[in-house]
Amino acid sequence: VSQEIIERVRDASDILDVVSKYVDLKKRGQNYFGLCPFHNEKTPSFSVAPAKEIFHCFGCGTGGSTIDFIMEYEKIGFIEAVQRLGEQYGIEVQLTQVKGGKELFSNLYELHEMAMTLYQKNLFSEKGKSVLSYLSDRGLKKEILEQ
């Protein structure tokens, strides 16, 4: 996701609008307060500051932007939170292809193969005898370890 799209989503999403869909908020001064959705409490310590477009819980310390709230509440990653907010505010969020993605994957695969070869070589050498014995005692067969 491009930085431009992230900024558009951040600018379009209203913290009060987003949070109030999940938390019952009451206005107190310039801010809104409610029970924190991230921990159990009886006294409202969860604050939403519309002027700053942030939320903060004085009880557990959780805080951030609309994106952070969705990530924490829905237990999802950054990209998915941006996509959900984009849908909600009519912003098309397209995933961008990483330049050299196939080459990077190929290099990582080669690196993985090299590491596997090195570990297998060490495992079946004199240095690896104690580890091989431990793995055998744990029920791992030699055929599996050679894969």
3-state secondary structure of 95: coil
Among 64, 68, 25, 31, which Cα is nearest to 44's?
25
Q: What percentage of the chain exceeds 70 in pLDDT?
A: 93
pLDDT digits (tens, 9 = 90+) for 102-143: 666 667 777 887 888 788 888 888 888 898 889 888 888 888
Residues of the chain with pLDDT under 50: none
Q: Cα(63)–Cα(21) distance, rounded to whole angstroms?
A: 17
- Please tell me the CATH superfamily of domain 3-88, with its number: Zinc finger, CHC2-typedomain (3.90.580.10)
| 94 and 1 Cβ atoms separated by less than 8 Å | yes
The pLDDT score that the predictor gives to residue 122 is: 85
Helix (H) or strand (E) holding 132: helix 129-137
The pLDDT score that the predictor gives to residue 142 is: 80
Cα 96 to Cα 3, 7, 10, distances in angstroms: 11, 15, 18
Structure tokens at 131: 């580890």
| 29 and 53 Cβ atoms separated by less than 8 Å | no
CB atoms within 10 A of CB 120: 14
CA dihedral 44, 80, 93, 7 (to 10 degrees): 50
Cα 50 to Cα 56, 59, 74, distances in angstroms: 11, 19, 21
